[in-house]
Chains A and B, each alone.
Chain A
Amino acid sequence: MTTTRLLRVLLLCPVFMLILQASWAQTKNVTGKIIDEQGRAVAGASVIGKGSKAGTSTDANGEFKLSIPANISTVIISYIGYGTQEIIIPSSNEVAVTLHPETQALTDIVVIGYGTARKKDVTGAVASLKEKDFNKGVITSPDQLLQNKVPGLEVTQNSGQPGAATTVKIRGNNSIRSGNNPLYVVDGVILDGRSARPSVSIGALGGQTPESNPLIYINPNDIASIDVLKDASASAIYGSRGANGVIAITTKKGSSGPTKLDFATSFGVFAGYMKKYEILDAGQYRNALTKYQVPNASTLDGGKSIDAQDEITSDKLSQNYSVAFSGGNETGKFRGSFFGGRDQGFIKETSLDRYLGNFGGSYKFLDKKLTIDFNLIAGHTTEHMGGISNDPGSQGNLISSVLQWNPTQPFTDASTGYYVFPENGSGNPLALITGVSDIADVNTFLGNISAAYKILPNLEYKFLYAINHSSGNRNTNLYGWLQGYGGLSGLGSGSIANAVLSSQTFTHTLNYTADITKNLNLNATAGFEYWKSDFSNNTFSASGFNTNLTQASIIDIPYTAMMQDASIQNLPSTYIDPTTELQSYFARVILNYASKYYLTATFRADGSSKFGENNRYGHFPSVAGKWLISNENFMKNSTLFSNLAIRASWGKTGNQEFPAGASQEQFGFSSFNTAGQINVANPDLKWETTTAYDFGLDFGLFKGRIYGGFDYYNKTTTDILFQSTAIQPAPASTYWINIPGDLKNTGYEIAIGATIIQKKDFTLDVTFNYANNKNLLTNFYAPGTKTPLSILTGTIEGQGVSGTLGQIITNDQPVNEFYLKPFNGFDDKGNQQIGADPVYAGDPNPHSLYGGSISITYKKFSLTMNGGGAGGYLIYNNTRTSVTNISGILQGRNIDEAAYNSDEGPGSGVGASTRFLESGNYFKFRNASISYHVGNVVKYVKGLNIFVNGNNLFVLTKFTGFDPEVNIDHSNSGYPSRSIEYIPYPTPRVISFGLNFSL
């Protein structure tokens, strides 16, 4: 009902705009010149007569001439990035204005959920990043903008494949299951967090491919700011979904002024591996054949010298183009943008194509009492993925074929030109690149419209409706001419998968501000929200085709174009998840006494259809206080402190990441003519509750030249959502239950920034952040007992180690503690000795995270460098365990240099043990950017900027794999793994060039 009315308003909107453009009568001419704080002429600044619709913009000399109705007494001057000024027109009708940058003012605004607040007024732990703070260079999704930028925020790229998902954690592990990612909120719209890119298991080549990033449809160039809500005071307003923290993304909006066009482009090339995997080169390999007395060594020496790691990399160019136009006046603003680009994957034939559009606006009606905001994001992305899966079994994936490739052996037969397939089962990497085609298209639409009406000057009602609809299609072809893969070779296999993800939000909020007394200010918000999400998926696969079964007869028609031509039609898999509905009531009160004492209290009641019928509603309160000491009279004259505040907060937040339908009894169909109960229902099922304390200190010294903060937090998650062993006989092996137990995360965070040099032609800014987190699971007992529970997870993959689990979730240990058999060295025959029983072997969760940046500007040059790392944790190198282990040499496979240089003998065998645990400590020089601000060129080109970026320039680490920043999904029955490396998509070093300017 409300929606249709709003839609009508929206439809009428353009009509209003036309009307508003028309008609004025008696006029006067106002002239003037506008300069910036450095005295330079400002071209393109907007000048509008206040109360009229007449406006113009300044020319290249900063001068303007405006004809306005004679009764207009004020002009409004605005320019992007500068504070808007209202100037009373002097009788001379000549105006001279100096604009001042408003970056300081912008920095001040923080998104706090269903509203914004000035940074100084915020009582919670919130980190706010603006565009200038973001990481530079090759960015495919918004979370990458934040890497190493916010203390306590851990962003790990799960794969080097462009567009792959990241693991994002705020202040440690809040849950023992998957579902640790924070809640994403884009312009006030809560996202589902899943991606509509269908998951596919690439059959014979083993296992699930890495997940896709659910945010790739958001153009990073469109993001104005990102706020990271870390403590319960900040995130409790999001209730049962706030426990993992909240990342609130605010997109750029139009601003008043003449229409402006921004253009940006960049081109990227690869500059090799950030870090190569150390395997034997051809010379060492030959020596190894002799050293280990490999039978038939002479036939294994192919006489060449091949670096398989180099052969698979792409030399193609990545390119991005983006254009944005914006403009507006006092009552209406709009901004639109288009982005098109291809991010080339480091591995041949892999890429991410993105075509993204964004259109938004804000229009005011009824004497500005009514504001209509809308924003539409439409994105089309195409991923070309290689044959790289997370959990390939004995036959490995593309990367294992690279690492195992005999470096003396050419990839193709000299006479036929066909790919060679070694009989040792290692696979031919170039053949895999050609013979595997895995393409996913995802179309995403995120639209929202809101209407805010000022009932009274201090009382505003707002309605928001948003829809997020995303559909994905994926075609996977594995060609039958690839030899050596059981179930694939000579057969071929194809699969088509589709998924649809759709969510809708209705939000009503009422905001009231009042000065209760002269010094006591109140800001109260109350609201109701309804959220609904649907997900469905279907997959069809078949194998046993008649085409593309030999290299001599390859045709250019994929199997997925003729699925009926398959001798083995696998059962289709189609499902629709139960609809998830949430309805919530929330309220927030912010009291501010004399801008010295602040109190914030929030409350949210969340009802979720997922919860069992005995626990439909959860309640999430929080309270926080702040003392802004620097506003006290005794501090007013301090020359040292420009800002000094202490904060404290307490609150409860929830996590409801368990599968929909888990609380109800369900009967499912598995194939024709079979039906059976599929789960153990638990009508008591509810959310997980995280109770958090935070104590914080914010400071600014020497007029803000040095600034920073310190936070200590203590979080305890209880009512742990747990897949407990079902009490047999049962229809499933596990069921969902909340169990008592405390998952604790305690830590501290430090952020410091300083403007070390601030001269007219030379500035130097540095920032540094550090976070320390300790994770521990306690009171983790089987229901009603004092028997500690233990969950084994962290699958160790590969031939010979099937079924091995390397991590444990148990009482008095951090989540995912390594639990491996001890390595006891080599015996006199060089066989590795592995103890019989596993031991607690170390923590895979980084204890410390740090990051820093340096920005230097010198005249028109600027240089920005960002880096960071993690420390105090271990990585399990599964690649060394089962792919490059020494036993491979006997079959003519390549092996790793460490094994070659060890005392190990070739018959040592494979086995998972503490031997392959390596320190994960690293520092990564994430990106450096040098830009030159050319400024205005010819008549129309303004603010031309050219730049060179380098990404992943180097990494300092003792870890022997490709990248210590790694998290390959090795989860077991829904329990995630952590810090296990297994033949991942490698990380490239990328150099990009680009320019941007405005028209």
Chain B
Amino acid sequence: MISYKNLKIVAVLLVLTIVSCSKLHEDLRSTLTNEQTATSLGAAGTQLLLQAAYTDVGNPFTDVGQVFSLQENSSDESLVPTRGGDWDDNGVWRVVHSHTWNADHAQLLQTFNNLNKLNFDATNVLAFNPSASQAAQARFLRAFALYHLLDFFGQYPFRNPGDNLLNAPQVYSGDSAVQFIISELNEILPDLAAGGKANMGIANADACRTLLMKCYLNRGAFANRAAPTFDDADMQQVITLGNAIINSGTYKYMNEYFDNFSVSNNNSTEIIFAYPNHTGVSAANSGINGRWFATLHYNQYTPDNPNAGWNGFSTVADFYNSFGVSTPLHASTTSPWSDTSVDKRLGRRFYAGVTDASGQRPGLMIGQQYNENGTAIKDRKGNPLSFDPAISANMIETGANLEVTGIRVEKYPPDLSTGQASYNGPSGNWLVLFRYSDVVLMVAEAETRLAKSATLTPEALTLVNNLRTVRGAATVTSMPLVNTANVNDPKTFLAERSRELYWESLRRTDLIRFGVFLKPWAYKTSDDEKNLVFPVPNQALAANPNLTQNPGY
């Protein structure tokens, strides 16, 4: 039996045991708590939080499978054919071009999440006592995210700083959604730094004006995507804001079109807002080299790198033909291009620092490709690497030429400033987000729409012809806005936007605003009205009951 004395021993031991217990606390050790962030980092900490929001812009806008894919592959400018053993990827690329996506599409979810991460991080800055300038930049970045969410999904979720993240936030849709973005941008405009080369990497006043212009120009399209309207006051706003930028004298066209996209494009006088990248610096690099890898053939560039390119993204003959080049031209191999009659934006000219190092000629690539020595490149089967405009009707290549179908587009000349290291590694081209020529063309469009004219007004035509002249294209005497019977009609203003702004993640928005997004074009034969807006990703819908699935999905 247990005696009293023994019980005492047991009791003492038990007490000892219990005393040795500690208050459980999870020490984070390499991350900070909210309080530590606020107190120990102080004002500098707010700048760090703002920087995180800036960094959020890089991935969703650079990656070829997010904003870029949704804007370009869904349009008449781009598609990714499946090539035998490559680029099937469970059909994700084909359904974007054929407008047969659904609410489980991975690119939609990724885009939704990444834009909302920008939305979140920008909002978070406001909870940490930002300066007026910091708050303005954060609100610009948030507006930038919200504008794209609204464009894609017709709605966006919104949290106030410090909201409980376990609660479903409110959702803005319809005109109040545009109106909120507009009011935000108008409020912050005075607090932003002036635009220009020095500030093109940060939220600046001209970037704010450009985003405002987009809001006003597209407001009627967001409200009624099937039949966009254009309010006079809105158009006047576009013109006023655009002229403020044009008349500031801050921007002028670059003589070399591709200097806007090359490794030295931070010297461009056309860029209003861009995401900075630096050669050889992996910190916050957005992976801009994916833009050329995605389109280049495996065998393009160096003999060490037969698999450097991904051999995917292509464009269609109708777009190529909109440049008015009737016969395929044969690039000379080593000497500079001498034909000045061709639109510079088509490319295919000798580009110093790239053509001499790789044989590549930025722009649209068609026909035989050469290396830096002028030797004709072969594909992996030993056939000539000669890009063929004809793509299989169902976008599934099974023939002997499956590696070479599709015209390629090298919008960003590869960074070869340190050879392979920059080509493969962290490349230094800045990602262009807003560009001067877009502002000019928006003004031209707004003037025409204000005049209720189907063709460009004289003022608008002047703006367009000035641009065409700089780009080496002949001036025109008349230009209709759009030909609804032929989306790719070269004579139209819509085609001019395409020639100037192709592969800059603007095309889907343009096609909707011009009322032709549901028209057939190459490798997209039929459509449905629901496709004017993307479905809200199913996962997001399940998480936030305040989101509403778009009609038809």
Measuring CB to CB, which residues of chain A are less than 8 angstroms from any residue of chain B? 294-296, 299, 394-395, 421, 423-425, 455-456, 459, 461, 483-487, 489-491, 506, 508, 510, 512, 514, 526-528, 530, 536, 543-544, 567-571, 574-581, 583, 607-610, 616, 660-661, 663-678, 680-682, 724-733, 735, 782, 785, 787, 789, 799-804, 821, 829, 831, 836, 882, 885, 887-888, 890-892, 905, 907-912
What residues of chain A lie closer than 8 Å to B420, measured between beta carbons? Answer: 489-491, 544
B99 to chain A, nearest CB (A): 15
Residue B352, interface by CB 8 Å: no
Judge whether A891 and B380 touch: CB under 8 Å: yes
B2: which A residues are within 8 A, CB to CB?
Answer: 514
> Are B89's CB and A801's CB within 8 A?
yes
Of residues 282 through 316 on chain B, the ones whose CB sits less than 8 Å from some CB of chain A are 282-284, 293, 298-299, 302-308, 310
State whether the Cβ of B374 lies closer than 8 Å to any Cβ in chain A: no
- Chain A contacts for B51, CB-based, 8 A: 673-675
Q: In the complex, which of the residues B21, B31, B86, B303 contacts A800, with contact meaning CB atoms closer than 8 Å?
A: B86
Expressed in whole angstroms, the minimum distance between the Cβ of B36 and any Cβ of chain A is: 7
Within 8 A of A (CB), among B156-170: 157-159, 165-169
Whether a CB of chain A sits under 8 angstroms from the CB of B400 is yes
Q: Chain B 15-56 against A: per-residue CB contact (8 Å), 1 yes, 0 no?
A: 011101110111111111110110001000101110111110
Question: Which listed residue, B17, B20, B307, B539, touches A394 by the CB 8 Å rule?
Answer: B307
Would you mind naming 24 contact pairs between A and B with Cβ atoms under 8 Å apart? A455-B6, A455-B9, A461-B13, A487-B425, A567-B421, A568-B426, A569-B280, A667-B31, A671-B283, A671-B284, A676-B53, A676-B121, A677-B34, A725-B539, A726-B165, A729-B123, A730-B165, A800-B89, A829-B398, A888-B85, A890-B381, A891-B380, A909-B84, A909-B88
Residue B223, interface by CB 8 Å: no
- Contact among B85, B106, B124, B159 with A676 in the assembled complex (CB-CB below 8 Å): B124
- Bound Cα distance A39, B27 (Å): 65
A660 and B26 within 8 A (CB): yes
Which residues does chain A contribute within 8 Å of B399, judged by CB atoms?
Answer: 907
Residues from 307 to 366 in B contacting A, C-beta threshold 8 Å = 307-308, 310
The 7 lowest CB-CB distance pairs between A and B, nearest first, are A907-B398, A676-B52, A728-B116, A675-B48, A887-B85, A489-B304, A729-B120
B451 at the interface (CB under 8 A from A): no
Separation of A938 and B124 alpha carbons in the complex (Å): 81
Nearest B residue to A566 by beta-carbon distance? B421
A932 to chain B, nearest CB (A): 54
Q: For A514, what are the chain B residues with a Cβ–Cβ distance below 8 Å?
A: 1-2
A792 to B159, CA, bound (A): 28
B14 within 8 A of A: yes
Cβ–Cβ < 8 Å partners of B26 in chain A: 578-581, 609-610, 660-661, 663-664
**A425–B383 Cα gap in the complex (Å)?**
16
Q: With the chains together, A674 CA to B86 CA distance in Å? A: 37
A661 close to B31 (CB less than 8 A):
yes
Q: A487-B425, A569-B280 are in contact. List 20 more A-B contacts (CB 8 A).
A: A421-B306, A423-B299, A425-B298, A425-B380, A459-B6, A483-B303, A491-B420, A544-B418, A578-B28, A609-B25, A665-B34, A667-B31, A674-B48, A675-B51, A676-B49, A677-B124, A678-B31, A728-B113, A803-B89, A890-B381
Also in contact, A728 and B302, with CB within 8 A (given A528-B17, A574-B30) = no
Contacts of B426 in A (CB 8 A): 568
Query: Pick the contact of A801 from B29, B30, B90, B166 — CB < 8 Å?
Result: B90
Interface class of chain A by DSSP: loop
**Residues A530 and B85 in contact, CB atoms below 8 Å apart:** no
A244 to chain B, nearest CB (A): 23
- Verify A800–B29 contact, CB threshold 8 A: no
* CB-CB nearest in chain B for A424: B380
* Residues in chain A near residue B82, CB distance under 8 A: 800, 909
Does A491 contact B424, Cβ atoms closer than 8 Å?
A: yes
| In the bound complex, CA of A670 to CA of B20 (Å) | 38
- B543 close to A727 (CB less than 8 A): yes
Cα(A782)–Cα(B83), bound, Å: 38
Q: Contact: B85 with A295, CB < 8 Å?
A: no
Determine if A727 and B28 form an interchain contact, defined as CB atoms under 8 angstroms apart.
Answer: no
B400 touches A295 (CB 8 A): yes
Contact, CB under 8 Å: B48 / A673? yes
Docked Cα-Cα span, A607 to B540, in Å, equals 34
Interfacial chain B residues near A395, Cβ < 8 Å: 307
Whether A583 pairs with B123 at a CB distance below 8 angstroms is no
Chain A contacts of B454 at CB under 8 A?
none
Smallest beta-carbon distance A622→chain B, Å: 22
A513 to chain B, nearest CB (A): 11
Tell me whether A296 and B381 are in contact (CB under 8 A).
yes
Residues of B within 8 A of A575 (CB): 30
Q: Which residues on the B side are within 8 Å of A724 (C-beta)? A: 543
Say yes or no for B542: interface residue by CB 8 A criterion: yes
Q: Contact partner of A583 among B22, B65, B119, B157, CB < 8 A?
A: B22
Contact A423 B306 (CB under 8 A): yes
B80: shortest Cβ distance to chain A, in Å?
11
Q: A576-B29, A730-B117 are in contact. Are A483 and B165 (CB under 8 A)?
A: no
Contact B17 A425 (CB under 8 A): no
Q: Which of chain A's residues has its CB closest to B301's CB? A: A486
Q: Within 8 Å of chain A (Cβ to Cβ): is B140?
A: no
- CB of B84 within 8 A of CB of A728, answer no
Contacts of B544 in A (CB 8 A): 727-728
The distance in angstroms between the C-alpha atoms of A680 and B22, with both chains bound, is: 27
Contact B421 A491 (CB under 8 A): yes
Contact residue among A461, A485, A544 (Cβ-Cβ distance under 8 Å from B421): A544
A245 CB to closest chain B CB (Å) equals: 26
With contacts A673-B48, A675-B48, A675-B49 taken as known, whether A731 is within 8 angstroms of B10 at the C-beta atoms is no
Q: Is there an interface contact between B305 and A729, defined as CB atoms closer than 8 Å?
A: no
B90 and A804: CB pair below 8 A?
Answer: yes
Contact residue among A490, A530, A574, A672 (Cβ-Cβ distance under 8 Å from B22): A530
Complex Cα distance, B119 from A676, in Å, reads 12
- Nearest-neighbour CB distance to chain A for B381, whole angstroms, equals 5
Among A491, A577, A905, the most chain B Cβ lie within 10 Å of the Cβ of: A491
Q: Give CA–CA (A730, B299) in the complex, Å.
A: 41
CA distance A607 to B22 in the complex (A): 10
* A483 pairs with B52, CB closer than 8 A: no
Give Cα distance in the complex from A568 to B169, angstroms.
42
Inter-chain contacts of A735 with B (CB < 8 A):
165
A666 in contact with B28 (CB, 8 Å) = yes
Inter-subunit contact B307/A425 (CB<8 Å): yes
Q: A576–B381 Cα gap in the complex (Å)?
A: 49
Interface: B188 (CB within 8 A) = no
A578–B29 contact, CB under 8 A? yes
| Distance to closest chain B CB from A859 (angstroms) | 56
Query: Cβ of B22: which chain A residues have Cβ within 8 Å of it?
Result: 530, 581, 583
B29 touches A579 (CB 8 A): yes
Task: Give Cα distance in the complex from A727 to B164, angstroms.
Answer: 10
Q: Are A675 and B41 in contact (CB under 8 A)?
A: yes
CB-based nearest A residue for B53: A676
Binary CB contact string for chain B from 172 to 190 against chain A (1 if under 8 A, 0 otherwise): 0000000000000000000
Contact B165 A567 (CB under 8 A): no
Which residue of the partner chain, among A459, A576, A577, A732, contacts B10 with CB atoms under 8 Å?
A459
B112 at the binding interface (Cβ < 8 Å): yes
Cα distance A733–B17 in the bound complex, in angstroms:
43
Interchain CB contact under 8 A, B30 and A576: yes
Evaluate contact between A831 and B398: CB separation under 8 angstroms: yes
- Determine if B6 and A456 form an interchain contact, defined as CB atoms under 8 angstroms apart: yes
For A664, give its contact among B33, B165, B402, B540 (CB under 8 Å).
B33
Say how far B358's CB is from chain A's closest CB, in angstroms.
13
Closest Cβ of chain B to A524, distance in Å, is: 10
Residues of A within 8 A of B433 (CB): none
Chain B hits for A491, CB < 8 A: 420-421, 424-425
A785 to B539, CA, bound (A): 13
Q: Which of A616, A661, A885 contacts B28 (CB 8 A)?
A: A661
Complex Cα distance, B24 from A296, in Å, reads 70
The answer to whether A295 touches B381, judged by C-beta atoms less than 8 angstroms apart, is yes
B158 CB to nearest A CB, Å:
7
**Least CB distance, B138 to chain A, in whole angstroms:** 12
Q: Nearest CB to that of A541 among chain B residues?
A: B282
